[in-house]
Chain A
Amino acid sequence: MGGGHAKAQATQLATIWMGWPEQHVRPLFEMFSQAHPEIDPVVTPIPFDNLLQALEVQLGARTPLPDIYMADGSLTASYAVRGHALDLTSVFGPEQDRFTAAGWDQGTWRNRLYTAPLHTSSPLLYINRRLFAAAGIDIPAADPAQRLTWEQTVEIGRRLTDRSRDTWGLVIEQSARPYQILPIMQSHGATVISEDGLSVTGHIDSPRFVEAAQFYADLFNRHAISPKGVFDLALAREVFTSGRAGMLIAGTWALDLFDRVQGLDYVAVPHPSFAAGRPVTCTGSWHIALNPRSRNRDQQLTLLRYFMSPGLQQAWFRLRTNPPVLKATYETMPEVFSSPAWRIVLHELNTTAVPRPRTPGFREYEDVLHTAFRDIQGGAEVAPRLQRATRDIDRELLKYRS
């Protein structure tokens, strides 16, 4: 990948990339190589599950490797406080208004930009029309102002669930990851971390959080409208596409996938929220970070600037239809963003999207809470399990207090 290694005089840049399929990664670097033949990015795509651990080893050794790496936006603070990400404020600060507010925001820590956004994400509620019709249920409205409430979602889910035919009401794609689960708590008015990002006591063990977590537990147990223990994203979508679930909460990447599934009659509507609460949707973005120890500062910056250019970002959107982070991308492709699904996404990103909590200990926070949600989904008692998670997270966050 990248542009061959024959160019002896070109400067090689060790680049660790998210493990998207080759046909989604190669074209971007081919574009770059044509524009900058003097730089030769050696691109290593690593699957998500292994990306973070491989980066921990390379960054943990504190060497000039890698020159460039892909960072989950929520890990920006983690890399920043540990000295693994170059401060980019002076590079992109003057152009801040080219970026959407949320995209820019997720690359910052204490008001400095450390990672540059590539694209962001937003969830939709996918509806299997055929199952809805068979159960005589009206298709929910596409208007975000008339989004389903969680209470209605449970009610509809009950009518769709038929255990004798292995059919479920609702499947959540990332059914235990804080990314897609925290909006349930946030819609119920719960906070998920302290202002300074260094403590969760009084937040994830608060009455509001516990009540919402009980609602989450009930989806799988008391109401039993969601199948327990489906933790794999592909399998979760499979339950929906094979017609075994009437509703699915999933990211925009599913739009592309579902369009290719023969015989699937679906429509995307806005993510639910509590009747008495406020609408909240998850969002998270992928960013690019530069290793401050790299010996190729100029080349690093050249590549990063190129990846923040409107041309490349448009090409990236065409390859993989994730919500863009440059305002220009939205403006230059009005035909795409006027579709019903994208209109919902734009509304969510502008009004209801809440990024994952900003804390240097996000990796630890996510890991502890992920395990806790798995247990709660499996039927563990909610309040004590969350108290344990609170204790575990706060113990890990101690190292960031100074």
Chain B
Amino acid sequence: MLPGLTQGLLLVLAVLATLLPFIWMGVSSFRDPGEIFRNAMRLNWHSFVPERLSLVNWEGVMRPDFLRPLANSIFVTVATVIPGVLINSAAGFAFAVFRFPGRDMLFAAVLLSFMVPFESIVIPLFSLVRWLGWVDTYPVLIVPEIANGLVIFLFRQFFTKLGRELFEAALIDGATWGRIFWSIALPLSWPTVASAGLILFLTQWDAFFWPLVAASSPEYTLVQVAITRNLDFEQTNYGRLFSAMTAASVVAVIPFLLLQRFYIRSITTSGMK
């Protein structure tokens, strides 16, 4: 592979390319509303540093019409991630471990479920949740998003790596399949469990179109919808937009930081192929 110095340099480049837009957005959120684009035409010192540090854009972030959506989003993501990891990992386990009639057809259906353009199914989906009486409630934001084809696919890929000898040994010891799944398969795949949780978390955190359509009265507004409300057709306030976007991104990396402890090599690696 490449020498350590080159590796470090490449990494720093990638990190900078990722970070610069956020830095610009973050810095702009501390500018006076009239100043955001003032230094955009001519490159000068103030193109990078605000002329005057202003907190006026951040006042909007501290108000209930942003904090409430933020709390809603946290609640909705947690309520999705926990059951989501459980039921999708179980399904992924079944696809990876068992032979049963119709398995390939079902798996194809699972793949289809995340390949479909959401915009093409949104009208029938809205009719369905309306019929269920769920419009403008928490369930409409949570329940349809728990089962996730991509997460099932992820678990199937990783559970397939676990050797069958492992399961055979456990069966001989008299373990049930439920026990094997819960005490052997899941603990052997912490990084996968964490990644699955992240897929579900980010899907819900980024959710925009569905919450907008199905539950966007102030009581149930989610964070991305709340941020977008700063885009007023006639009088867009970019400072407000930037502070809200920055706040939402900072909150969203917290779970990722917490999950870091699961990104370690499994100790019981001998079971891996």
Residues of chain A at the chain B interface (Cβ within 8 Å): 1, 5, 14, 18-22, 42-50, 53-54, 57-58, 60-61, 63, 65, 166, 232-235, 238, 241-242, 244, 251, 253, 257, 261-262
Query: Nearest residue in A to B63 (C-beta to C-beta)?
Result: A22
Q: Does B212 contact A (CB under 8 A)?
A: yes
Within 8 A of A (CB), among B105-153: 122-123, 126-127, 130, 135-136
Report the minimal beta-carbon distance from B179 to chain A, rounded to whole angstroms.
45
Report the minimal beta-carbon distance from A29 to chain B, rounded to whole angstroms.
11
List chain A residues, Cβ under 8 A from B217.
14, 42-44
**Chain B interface helix/strand/loop/mixed:** loop
Report how far A294 CA is from B65 CA in the complex, Å: 28
**29 residue pairs from A and B, CB less than 8 Å apart:** A14-B135, A14-B217, A19-B231, A21-B232, A22-B65, A22-B229, A42-B136, A43-B217, A44-B216, A44-B218, A46-B212, A47-B229, A47-B231, A50-B212, A50-B228, A54-B212, A54-B216, A58-B213, A63-B126, A65-B135, A233-B233, A233-B236, A234-B235, A238-B36, A238-B37, A241-B34, A253-B234, A253-B235, A261-B34
Report the minimal beta-carbon distance from B217 to chain A, rounded to whole angstroms.
5
Report the minimal beta-carbon distance from A358 to chain B, rounded to whole angstroms.
22
**Chain A interface helix/strand/loop/mixed:** mixed
Q: Does B242 contact A (CB under 8 A)?
A: no
Report the minimal beta-carbon distance from B39 to chain A, rounded to whole angstroms.
9
Report how far A206 CA is from B264 CA in the complex, Å: 69
Report how far A54 CA is from B209 CA in the complex, Å: 8
Q: Are B232 and A20 in contact (CB under 8 A)?
A: yes
Q: Does B206 contact A (CB under 8 A)?
A: no
Contact of B130 among A1, A47, A61 (CB under 8 A): A61
Within 8 A of A (CB), among B190-209: 209
Q: Are A43 and B228 in contact (CB under 8 A)?
A: no
List chain B residues, Cβ under 8 A from A65.
130, 135
Report the minimal beta-carbon distance from A211 to chain B, rounded to whole angstroms.
31
List chain A residues, Cβ under 8 A from B127.
61, 63
Q: Are B219 and A19 in contact (CB under 8 A)?
A: no
List chain B residues, Cβ under 8 A from A18.
233
Q: Does B238 contact A (CB under 8 A)?
A: yes
Report the minimal beta-carbon distance from A14 to chain B, rounded to whole angstroms.
7
Q: Nearest 5 pairs between A and B by C-beta?
A: A48-B233, A234-B236, A253-B234, A61-B127, A57-B213
Q: Are A19 and B232 in contact (CB under 8 A)?
A: yes
Report the minimal beta-carbon distance from B28 to chain A, rounded to whole angstroms.
13
Contact of A47 among B41, B65, B135, B233 (CB under 8 A): B233
> Which one of A44, A241, A261 has the highest number of Cβ atoms from chain B below 10 Å of its Cβ?
A44
Report the minimal beta-carbon distance from B162 to chain A, rounded to whole angstroms.
43
